[in-house]
Chains A and B, each alone.
Chain A
């Protein structure tokens, strides 16, 4: 009989397991890196790639700074105070994180096109891209600061309130949330470097859109590969210090703690201002582009065609999303098992995970294509199938699943295993009766979260999907340039509706779990 204590025993197997899983996660990116590092000739990146890189970095910096400026106060206020619509605002603010950014770009482009050319000029290129990326970046910073703020105990907040009133509370909590918020802003800035959609729609040459063009329009795999590897190296240069700084902090933050939770007082009349600020924030990042998507529908909804596209792509979308969720969550559970209670291993996992998340998604996809090009036909089910898409998407969003599963794993006290061991319970029985039921809610949440994030990732599916097995967002992406405006808008709104529905289900489930 294998002892239950095995789950808690230290040993070299833990480090070996962590390295094995992280190696697997980094594997798709390896071929392109090796190709660039081992290249004998000077790299050819295309004439415009330098300008595109410059544009990408300008947009990333502006996005990061603005996301910090809006997200930090929003996160702190929503954590500290009760005001009308607080829960709804938080739920709505999450939506852009689950929707591909190109949907917002289509919304803005359609809206400004109907107002005047001057407005179109104003909200295009860099400005437009920053606006579009802010929709996803602000929620990330908001959530980071909100989580940091609610992580403080009620007693700490009460002490600050007694010392200097609400100003002191705001100063203290903002100080505590500033570092996580800054790291989230930096991460969201780095993520913009890998997103090709807004640049393509809003007429800005970005590094990510150049890579996509090199591959899908010029059919130049080598050029796309080199550009992607160079972008990845630059991203890694930025992401490595971020991961180094963020990992230990995140490692502490994800540990479940028992503290007296803070009480949210109302703010009387001041609450009206907070509600108004949140309304403006939601209007600026979500409502305006949604309006842009609604306007073409005034001429009529292309219901038949839109439902045809949804019907044709729904199975593939579900397979890709669900498959990615399962792959990411299984690997995350393995990582949680290997990490155990080792702080150093947990920091390593989270650091490498953040770096992987920041890498351009095309890097892994092009790497797999590179491998597939030289592989024999019998490897097709591994390298050219829907399973390949699930696998690569799962690896990309592994860090999201890692945070949830590791937190759940850590919240099982050592004494549970010790009690099981003293009572002679076998490892299999303990895992079946205690561990699996306990981890089930977090596992389900991790699968759902990764599934939603994976659905929003168009780049990977675009590069890796088998012929005819397109996903719903990819169908929108491919028809947006040629199809009638009303069809594109109908499809985008259908996507938004589905994402909002799933978000509502998840939100309700998590609130029920929290109770």
Chain B
């Protein structure tokens, strides 16, 4: 894999006078598995949208290999050219299309022939263990199966960076554990760079080595997840540690 680096440089985002992110800086390097941790409403998903180029920042810059790709109120590089694929919190599967068509439509921007796109879609669905359900629509699939389709759609694009926006928040713990294991092995197998957004440090620890902890739109701490867990500075990780000591 070629090396690359996404950088958040003092990024802020304001919606209708309300600050969602304030002076946030962190880096995602090729091969890294980074978690953005924080309680609900702390700006995690906003950070992902800015990273993906779905929205411009209000202040600061997003850089790719040192070149600005987003600057205040301007997206310089469109999302489709950043090499980022995302599994959304609500999965964002198009309900009128089958699992296969969801993946195929996701490849329409990839400049592949129809045959190549179909072959790659089937291959990725197979990789995600959902090939037998390729002709079912999302409404005919269970929550866990839908997660796999969303993952297949993201992976089929062969992204530089796979972004997971709390995708496992609505499945039971058994399915979550199985899916986390599968994502970890897929990431290793495909040599993927992963950014996982979560409010659960355990979930983050299942996939990621590093973490950025956000609270009230600001970075409270960042570094190796194991170090952060040992000596937490943020309210979130301290509460998590205390809770587990009580247990």
Q: Which residue of B lies closest to A418 (CB)?
A: B54
* Closest Cβ–Cβ distance, residue B50 to chain A (whole Å): 12
On chain A, the residues within 8 Å of B90 by CB distance are 413, 415
* Residue contact B95 to A438, C-beta cutoff 8 Å: yes
* Residue contact B109 to A425, C-beta cutoff 8 Å: yes
Indicate whether A421 sits within 8 Å of B80 (C-beta atoms), given known contacts A413-B90, A415-B88, A415-B90.
Answer: yes
User: Interface-forming stretch among A143-151, A362-370, A429-437, A485-493?
Assistant: A429-437
Could you tell me which residues of chain B, from 75 to 126, have a CB within 8 Å of some CB in chain A?
78-81, 84-86, 88-92, 94-97, 105-110
* Residue contact A416 to B92, C-beta cutoff 8 Å: yes
On chain A, the residues within 8 Å of B84 by CB distance are 422
Give the interface size bracket for A toward B. Answer: 10 to 19
- Tell me whether A419 is interfacial, beta carbon within 8 Å: yes
On chain A, the residues within 8 Å of B64 by CB distance are none
On chain A, the residues within 8 Å of B80 by CB distance are 421-424
* Residue contact A438 to B85, C-beta cutoff 8 Å: no
* Closest Cβ–Cβ distance, residue B56 to chain A (whole Å): 11
Bound CA span A203–B185, Å:
82
Q: Which of A3, A415, A425, A437 lies in contact with B108, CB distance below 8 A? A: A425
Indicate whether A422 sits within 8 Å of B96 (C-beta atoms), given known contacts A3-B78, A429-B108, A433-B105.
Answer: no
Q: Which residue of B lies closest to A5 (CB)?
A: B54
* Residue contact B106 to A419, C-beta cutoff 8 Å: yes
* Closest Cβ–Cβ distance, residue A51 to chain B (whole Å): 54
* Residue contact B96 to A434, C-beta cutoff 8 Å: yes
On chain A, the residues within 8 Å of B52 by CB distance are 418, 422
Could you tell me which residues of chain A, from 412 to 461, have a CB within 8 Å of some CB in chain B?
413, 415-416, 418-426, 429, 433-434, 437-438
Q: Which of A5, A419, A434, A437 lies in contact with B88, CB distance below 8 A? A: A419
Q: Which residue of A lies closest to B101 (CB)?
A: A433
Interface of B is mostly: loop
- Tell me whether B157 is interfacial, beta carbon within 8 Å: yes
* Residue contact B92 to A413, C-beta cutoff 8 Å: yes
Q: What's the count of A-B pairs with C-beta under 8 Å? A: 72
* Residue contact A418 to B92, C-beta cutoff 8 Å: yes
- Tell me whether B241 is interfacial, beta carbon within 8 Å: no
On chain B, the residues within 8 Å of A434 by CB distance are 94, 96-97, 105
- Tell me whether B49 is interfacial, beta carbon within 8 Å: yes
* Closest Cβ–Cβ distance, residue B76 to chain A (whole Å): 14
Bound CA span A415–B89, Å:
9
Indicate whether A424 sits within 8 Å of B108 (C-beta atoms), given known contacts A433-B97, A434-B97.
Answer: yes
* Closest Cβ–Cβ distance, residue B120 to chain A (whole Å): 13
* Residue contact A422 to B97, C-beta cutoff 8 Å: no
Bound CA span A426–B107, Å:
11
* Closest Cβ–Cβ distance, residue A253 to chain B (whole Å): 22
* Residue contact B85 to A422, C-beta cutoff 8 Å: yes
Could you tell me which residues of chain B, from 38 to 82, have a CB within 8 Å of some CB in chain A?
49, 52, 54, 78-81
B: which residues have CB within 8 A of A? 49, 52, 54, 78-81, 84-86, 88-92, 94-97, 105-110, 153, 157
Could you write out 18 A-B pairs with CB less than 8 Å apart? A415-B90, A418-B52, A418-B86, A419-B106, A420-B105, A421-B80, A422-B54, A423-B105, A423-B110, A424-B78, A424-B108, A424-B110, A425-B105, A426-B108, A429-B105, A433-B94, A434-B105, A438-B94
A: which residues have CB within 8 A of B? 3, 5, 413, 415-416, 418-426, 429, 433-434, 437-438
3 A-B pairs with the lowest CB-CB distances in the bound complex, closest first: A424-B109, A424-B80, A415-B92
